[in-house]
Amino acid sequence: LAKTTQPISMDSYEGQEVNITCSHNNIATNDYITWYQQFPSQGPRFIIQGYKTKVTNEVASLFIPADRKSSTLSLPRVSLSDTAVYYCLVGDPSSNFGNEKLTFGTGTRLTIIP
Amino acid sequence: KAGVTQTPRYLIKTRGQQVTLSCSPISGHRSVSWYQQTPGQGLQFLFEYFSETQRNKGNFPGRFSGRQFSNSRSEMNVSTLELGDSALYLCASSLASGSSGETQYFGPGTRLLVL
């Protein structure tokens, strides 16, 4: 599995756009990039997934450069309720080997300041 | 469609006891994974089941075991509980391969406290 590196924590003010970058230098050809959000005492929740260029849904955008060695989760106009831990994962959705010792890592703890 | 459910939500046990946690995946999902989350270690993969077979296993001692039934429901058992087993245990289901690239849907977790 491709190893990912994210900042441990970030702070931002309400209403601002927040960008969280994840490095995955050894991403494989068939790997996709997936981001999850986790609130305290809850299970992680899927936010967005992409393979290349840009993906946008109702809650976030995911920017992936051509070399795919990094990705950036963009949260527009954050609010206090966006305070959570954000995890970046890479993997091949077509793999038949299941979750090979999957680890979410430490993620990025985002704190939104009023 | 109902989400992933886990029971019980909270549990208090004493050292040396054993515990069984249950997870019901989203209808139609065949892969169920279990994770342990502690403040110090983050989210750690325990094991994954697919079609009643354990397909992958993380680095946990043999005290941690699991199984999956024909309806895809899964149970996790921890024997001879230790204080360090206190954690939030999360179950996730996915449609088919359960790979790291496939979207996983998490349950609310079972918070276990070992005294």
> How many angstroms away from the CA of A51 is the closest CA of chain B?
10
The beta strand positions in chain A, using DSSP E, are: 9-13, 18-23, 32-38, 45-50, 53-56, 61-64, 70-75, 84-91, 108-113
DSSP state of A5: B
C-alpha Rg value of chain A to the nearest Å = 14
More confident position, B101 or B98: B101
Q: Residue B56: list chain A partners with CB under 8 A.
A: 97-102
Interface contact flag, A99 B56, Cβ < 8 Å = yes
Query: What pLDDT sits at residue A91?
Result: 77
**Taking CB atoms and an 8 Å cut-off, how many pairs form between chains A and B?**
103
Calculate mean pLDDT across residues B20-24: 98
> How far apart (Å, rounded) are the C-alpha atoms in residues A5 and A82?
21
What are A40-88's pLDDT values in tens digits? 888 999 899 999 989 999 999 999 999 999 999 999 999 999 999 999 9
**Residue B44 pLDDT grade (very low, low, confident, very high; cuts 50, 70, 90):** confident
> What pLDDT is stored for residue A30 in this prediction?
83
Cα of B106 vs its chain's centroid, Å: 10
* Contact assignment for A104 to B43 by CB distance below 8 Å: yes
CA nearest neighbour of B98 among B41, B59, B57, B70: B57
Torsion angle of the four alpha carbons A24, A27, A31, A35, in this order, in degrees rounded to the nearest 10: 0
CB contact under 8 A, B58 and A105: no
Residues in A closer than 8 angstroms to B102, CB to CB, are 91, 93
Interface probe for B, chosen from A29, A97, A102, A106 (most Cβ of B below 10 Å), is A102
CB nearest to B48's CB, from A1, A45, A99: A99
pLDDT digit string, tens, across residues B61-81: 999 999 999 999 999 999 999
- Sign of the torsion angle spanned by Cα atoms A26, B105, B10, B34: negative
In the sheet that holds A53-56, the strands lie side by side as A18-23, A70-75, A61-64, A53-56
Least CB–CB distance from B100: residue in A41, A42, A91? A91
pLDDT of residue A96: 55
Range B38-45 average pLDDT: 82
In A12-51, the residues whose Cβ lies within 8 Å of chain B are 30-32, 34, 41-46, 49
B107 contacts chain A (CB < 8 A): yes
Can you give the pLDDT at residue A101? 44
Q: How confident is the model at residue A106 (pLDDT cuts 50, 70, 90)?
A: confident
The pLDDT of residue A90 = 84
Beta-bridged to residue A22, according to DSSP, are A71
Return mean pLDDT, chain B. Answer: 90
* pLDDT digits 0-9 by tens, A19-37: 999 999 988 888 888 899 9
| B36 contacts in chain A (CB < 8 Å) | none
